[in-house]
Amino acid sequence: MRVSVFLGLSLDGFIASEGGGLDWLDLVRTDPPEDTGFLALMASADVLVMGRSTYDAVIAFPEWPYARTRLVVMTHRPFEAKHGEERFEGELTELFERLAQEGHQHVYLDGGDVVRQGLRANRVTDLTLSWLPIVLGSGVALFERGLPERRWQLISSRGFPSGLIQATYEAGASGNDTAWPDEQEP
């Protein structure tokens, strides 16, 4: 199963400001979503798995951006679904197993904690990071200490008129492996 991450982050590695704010993402609203690859990702993903903090931020958007995609919110707290969202309480790897059994082929992970869970489990297959031209100084960091070592192969990179720089990576070897998967002996 393909597991994609597509995140905007500050130059100093934060995906949200203190308190979970995302208003700083407006710096690059001039870059059309079709140019950044977001619309293509949404068209190919058959399920979106989102953390609760991200869900709480997104539900306040004036327009619901996920109308055509199944959305599973990982949370221990109850919530009232407003757009058909589903609640899941448990381990991300359990959810992946359930989604695979249901026939899902492409999962899009969104939200810092959920993405870190996917990275810890070595389940993320591709990672698109978009650096915005801002230093926040503090906030919610994407990466944390203790994530397992994993190599990533750069697939593409590009800049946008707004100053956004985007890089897409595919997962390579993990741990002490020294070769990329396509270089390993059968």
How far CA 79 is from CA of 26, 36, 166, in Å, comes to 27, 31, 34
Question: What are the tens digits of pLDDT across the range 101-122?
Answer: 999 999 999 999 999 999 999 9
> Does a structural domain hold residue 128?
yes
Q: What is the pLDDT of residue 44?
A: 95
Structural domain contains residue 182: no
Average pLDDT on 3-24 reads 92
Beta bridge partners of 10: 132
Asked if residue 180 is part of any domain, the answer here is no
**CATH number, position 164:** 3.40.430.10
**Which residues span the domain enclosing 22?**
2-175
The answer to whether 81 and 88 are in contact (CB under 8 A) is no
Residue 76 in domain: yes
Tens of pLDDT, residues 72-103: 999 999 988 999 999 999 999 999 999 999 99
**Residue 8 one-letter amino acid:** G
DSSP states of the chain = -EEEEEEEEETTSEEE-GGG--GGGGGGTTS-HHHHTHHHHHHH-SEEEEEHHHHHHHTTSSS-TTTTSEEEEE-SS----SSS-EEE-S-HHHHHHHHHHTT--EEEEESHHHHHHHHHTT---EEEEEEES---SSSEES--TTPPPEEEEEEEEEE-TTS-EEEEEEEEEETT--S-GGGS--
Backbone angles phi, psi at 11, to 5 degrees: -60, -25
Instruction: Using a cut of 0.85, tell me whether the model's pTM lies above it.
Output: yes
Total domain count, the chain: 1
Q: Give a yes or no: residue 185 inside a domain.
A: no
Q: Tell me if 184 is assigned to some domain.
A: no
